[in-house]
Amino acid sequence: MTSIKPFHATDLFDLNPINLDPLTENFFIYFYLEYLSEWPTLFYKSTSALNTPTGYMLAKTEGQVAKKEWHAHISAVTIDPNYRRIGLGSYLCKTLETYTQEEKPYNAFFIDLFVKCNNTLAITFYEKLGYSVYRRVVGYYGGGRGRVVRNKVDDDVDAFDMRKSLRRDKAGECVRRGGRKVRVLPGEVSY
């Protein structure tokens, strides 16, 4: 059983069953609180019948409307190991679509996210949800170590910027075919 509820700062005390997972990042307090205060409706949780968090979505909006870059960005979506493989991740992502469609106050052109190029499970997951690769960000996960060269790709440190158009992107201008071949450097990804 799953309900969607707004995330509140005090929920941070109850995230251990989710965040102890080795692949889930624990961020500084300010990071969570910044999302809550800047984008209060884009940070929400799924809960069990006992009202304990079973997963959460942490998203924001950014970009310029004039350039048709105004979009929602998924910063983190994560699920308690006990609630995996039941479509809860998809549910959280689809919920974000409903919050950022023509709905006030967001009304975005698209949703995007970054995923490591070697994370095939996640890539497949997002493809099933209608996302496609828009571009490869070379050296995105390299932590600033070493010189990043556009022609030197490495699935372990590169990210795919994946996107899904929303209704506002009527002509589908925010997505593209063959995005895997388009390469940019981390510094070129700014809004």
The footprint of other proteins (CB under 8 A) covers: 1-6, 8-17, 19-23, 26-30, 33-34, 36-38, 40-41, 44, 48-50, 54, 81-87, 91, 98-99, 103-105
Phi, psi angles (nearest 5°) of residue 83:
-120, 25
CB of 33 to other proteins, least distance (A): 4
Q: Look at phi and psi of residue 68 and say left if phi exceeds 0, alpha if psi is from -120 to 50, else beta.
A: left
Cβ closest to other proteins, residue 6 vs residue 146:
6
Cβ closest to other proteins, residue 38 vs residue 188:
38
182 near 132, Cβ under 8 Å? no
In one-letter notation, the amino acid at residue 106 is Y
Residue 140 CB: number of other CB atoms within 10 A?
21
**Of the candidates 50, 143, 54, 41, the residue with the CA atom closest to the CA atom of residue 91:** 54
CB of 121 to other proteins, least distance (A): 9
Cβ closest to other proteins, residue 82 vs residue 124:
82
CB of 84 to other proteins, least distance (A): 7
CB of 156 to other proteins, least distance (A): 13
Cβ closest to other proteins, residue 50 vs residue 171:
50
Q: Is 176 helix (H, G, I), strand (E, B) or coil?
A: coil
